[in-house]
């Protein structure tokens, strides 16, 4: 659910203090903006709950609990929460702003990460989770998106929005919604059980698997399929998909066990095991030793009882080992291996930045790790101790100067098994046999050492650093190192200039056979695409043109009087501009002319019809007709008289001229008797009035002396002609 722009637009001042400046990311519960604390003049991240969730008291309570939960935590690897508030319905958090990117961005760029670097990152992540678990808080949404890597290499864990105190009751579901991300959710959460610190351990183990292999362990077409996989299937070992030491496999196996009681009890135990694993790798004891020493902090399920008198270090350490004991074991093994020990006494990872910025500097488009783990030349892992069944490893410590006991019943120095002569002959034989045997053993050891060196490290050398060189110069430098080099492809890069070496396979410092070939990938420079001219295209044509250039189409619509419906009116980016891949290009699509309602003006004055229809953009076709029923100047009929039209359409109007008028010429009746004059005028269609009138009988015999209108005048049919029988 995306936050409406109106909820926190750029420029809005929240709580009269925090100015919203730009969008950073959208999530399931909230949207994160970059902002400024105007009181302290510092950059902050503003997390604003989605408007539709802000109306739900339960979600608001959970959202506010993030501020309270995170504010209780004190660890350099946890994103700090500064403030919480509400402003006109916008519920928000003000948090520490981290300039950088997420661990998900790193995975997208590099595919997977070298085990040693992954464990270095994990010390910071688990340190943050350890602080939460010590405060009895479960994160419940551990995933790469919530691990932030600042530009200077510092690791921060964010988003305690789903966090809940471990003492609180309730399931992980609410209103039918599963809280968390299905790719990292623990089996018990998928079954609706309450989340515990072991649930965070499971999610962290899944994320470690993804860092090492480049993909999550379970996937499917739907969330339900992924959740069932978490419930029914074990997480595979990372070494099945990538070169991973056995001790790291063991970390993933234990942390992602489907039974919670088999996992590490919390992030503190997991962190101790990670440190032990790093120490084992640093000492070259990555195949068995790490697992052996790390077993002190690894849970043991139903161990097989040791035989009487058998001193089993694992068994004695398996029962509810405290976190402080676990870190004591980790420190002991650090010292034993010669690996660096964290300086701070409480064993939290210090806040000094790790060299992640340098580690992730060179882009690697393939799925190869950044710096694959290699056993140092000449170093062989120690042989595994003898085993006597599951979890029955016997560890015997021999103090300096202590005699190693022997077995059997050999003869003593007194020669109880023979006389003095036999002892003398035996001594003579030993006098020459000893040096020969010593010489043979020495020669054999030398041969074995030389063979082991040749087949192990002797045939190998390290790949020279060839990055950011001209390919020809890189080839020359490789030849000087006794190797070959060839250009094997090209790739885009934002950092490496076009024409220079972007990456090598094997990478710099990695092992390669002497005389081997290094494959060079040459930079094409930044990946840019030219924006095409979309004018007049249809929606389908726009999608095709932009898709061919790795650009993302976005559409808006509006009416246009001249552009055909479905065609592009304009675009937001100029044609010919060079832009990054996945840049959004907005095309404005025409909906055709805007429809206009047509009102009926039948029976209304023509002046009203002209003003209304004309101003709406219609063309008028006005005709006139005589009408005995409609007054002159009034609309008799209209076509069309209803519905909608568009500007420029024609509306026909018929206007009344009133009754039709017939004009006649007035005949002359002067000198005629009145009765004859009346007949003549009546035949002409005229009315007669006689002045003066003295009675019909007498009047009709009089002679017309004058008339009005005058003879020959033209008047409408039915007009009245006045006759005068006396002179004026």
The span from the CA of 372 to the CA of 244, in Å, is 9
CB atoms within 10 A of CB 192: 10
Buried b (16+ CB within 10 A) or exposed e, 424-445: eeeeeeeeeeeeeeeeeeeeee
Dihedral, 678, 679, 681, 682 alpha carbons, nearest 10: 110
Could you tell me how far CA 413 lies from the centroid of its own chain?
81
Sequence-distant (≥ 6) Cβ neighbours of residue 401 within 8 angstroms:
none
Q: Which helix (H) or strand (E) holds 68?
A: helix 57-72
One of 75, 116, 141, 159 is an active-site residue; which one? 141
**Is the distance from CB of 692 to CB of 704 less than 8 angstroms?**
no
Q: How far is C-alpha 4 from the geometric centre of its chain's CA atoms?
A: 18
CB–CB of 89/51 below 8 Å? yes
**With contact defined as beta carbons under 8 Å apart, do 273 and 253 qualify?**
no
DSSP, collapsed to helix, strand or coil, labels residue 588 as strand
Phi, psi (deg, nearest 5) at residue 521: -110, 125
CA–CA distance, 141 with 130 (Å, rounded to integer): 15
Is the Cβ–Cβ distance between 297 and 329 less than 8 Å?
Answer: yes
CB 559 within 8 A of CB 569: no
| 678 neighbors 689 (Cβ within 8 angstroms) | no
Could you give the CA distance from residue 114 to residue 370 in angstroms, rounded to a whole number? 6
Query: CA 10, CA 19: separation in Å to the nearest integer?
Result: 8
Catalytic (active site) residue 141: yes
**Centroid of chain to Cα 21:** 20
Distance CA 468, CA 362 (A): 9
DSSP letter (8 states) at residue 316:
H
> Catalytic residues, which ones?
141
């Amino acid at each position: 659910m995306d936050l409406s722009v109106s909820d926190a637009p750029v420029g809005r001042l929240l709580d009269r203090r925090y100015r919203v400046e730009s969008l950073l990311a959208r999530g399931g519960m909230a949207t994160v903006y970059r902002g400024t604390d105007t009181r302290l003049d510092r950059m902050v991240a503003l997390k604003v709950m989605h408007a539709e969730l802000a109306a739900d008291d339960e979600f608001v309570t959970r959202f506010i609990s993030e501020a309270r939960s995170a504010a209780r935590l004190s660890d350099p690897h946890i994103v700090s929460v500064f403030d919480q508030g509400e402003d006109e319905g916008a519920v928000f958090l003000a948090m520490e702003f981290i300039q950088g990117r997420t661990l998900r961005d790193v995975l997208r760029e590099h595919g997977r990460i070298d085990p040693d670097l992954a464990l270095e990152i994990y010390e910071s992540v688990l340190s943050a989770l350890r602080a939460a678990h010590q405060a009895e808080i479960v994160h419940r949404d551990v995933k790469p998106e919530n691990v932030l890597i600042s530009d200077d290499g510092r690791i921060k864990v964010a988003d305690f929005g789903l966090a809940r105190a471990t003492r609180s009751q309730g399931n992980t579901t609410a209103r039918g919604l599963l809280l968390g991300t299905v790719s990292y959710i623990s089996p018990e959460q998928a079954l609706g059980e309450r989340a515990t610190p072991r649930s965070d351990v499971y999610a962290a183990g899944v994320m470690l698997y993804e860092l090492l292999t480049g993909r999550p362990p379970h996937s499917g077409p739907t969330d339900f399929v992924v959740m069932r996989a978490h419930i029914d299937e074990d997480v595979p070992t990372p070494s099945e998909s990538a070169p991973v030491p056995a001790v790291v496999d063991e970390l993933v196996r234990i942390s992602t066990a489907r039974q919670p009681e088999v996992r590490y009890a919390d992030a503190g135990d997991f962190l101790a095991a990670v440190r032990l694993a790093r120490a084992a790798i640093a000492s070259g004891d990555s195949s068995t030793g790490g697992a052996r020493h790390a077993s002190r902090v690894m849970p043991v399920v139903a161990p097989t009882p040791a035989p009487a008198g058998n001193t089993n270090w694992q068994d004695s350490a398996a029962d509810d080992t405290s976190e402080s004991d676990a870190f004591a074991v980790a420190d002991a093994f650090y010292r034993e291996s010669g690996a660096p020990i964290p300086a701070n006494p409480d064993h939290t990872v210090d806040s000094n930045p790790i060299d992640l910025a340098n580690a992730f500097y060179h882009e690697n488009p393939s799925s190869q790790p950044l710096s694959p783990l290699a056993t140092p030349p000449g170093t062989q892992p120690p042989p595994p101790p003898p085993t006597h069944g599951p979890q029955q490893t016997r560890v015997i410590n021999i103090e300096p100067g202590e005699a190693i006991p022997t077995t059997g019943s050999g003869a003593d120095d007194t020669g109880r098994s023979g006389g003095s002569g036999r002892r003398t002959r035996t001594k003579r034989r030993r006098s020459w046999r000893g040096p020969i045997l010593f010489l043979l053993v020495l020669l054999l050891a030398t041969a074995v050492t030389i063979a082991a060196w040749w087949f192990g490290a002797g045939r190998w050398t390290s790949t020279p650093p060839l990055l950011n060189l001209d390919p020809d110069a890189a080839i020359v430098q490789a030849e000087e190192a006794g190797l070959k080099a060839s250009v094997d492809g090209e790739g885009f890069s934002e950092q490496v200039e076009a024409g220079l070496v972007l990456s090598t396979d094997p990478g710099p410092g990695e092992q390669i056979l002497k005389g081997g070939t290094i494959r060079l990938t040459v930079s094409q420079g930044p990946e840019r695409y030219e924006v095409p001219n979309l004018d007049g295209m249809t929606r389908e044509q726009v999608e095709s043109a932009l898709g061919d250039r790795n650009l993302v189409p976005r559409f808006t619509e509006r009416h246009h009087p001249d552009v055909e419906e479905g065609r592009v009116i304009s675009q937001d980016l100029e044609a010919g501009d060079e832009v990054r891949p996945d840049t959004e290009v907005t095309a404005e699509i025409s909906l055709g002319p805007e429809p206009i309602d047509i009102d009926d003006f039948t029976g209304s004055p023509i002046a009203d019809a002209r003003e209304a229809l004309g101003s709406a953009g219609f063309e008028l076709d006005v005709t006139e007709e005589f009408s005995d029923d409609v007054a002159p100047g009034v609309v008799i009929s209209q076509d069309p008289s209803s519905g909608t039209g568009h500007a420029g359409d024609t509306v026909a109007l018929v206007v009344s001229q009133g009754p039709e008028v017939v004009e006649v010429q007035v005949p002359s009746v002067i000198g005629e008797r009145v009765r004859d004059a009346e007949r003549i005028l009546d035949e002409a269609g005229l009315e007669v009035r006689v002045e003066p009138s003295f009675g019909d009988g007498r009047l009709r015999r009089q002679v017309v002396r004058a008339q009005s209108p005058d003879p020959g005048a033209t008047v409408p049919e039915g007009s009245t002609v006045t006759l005068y029988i006396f002179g004026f």
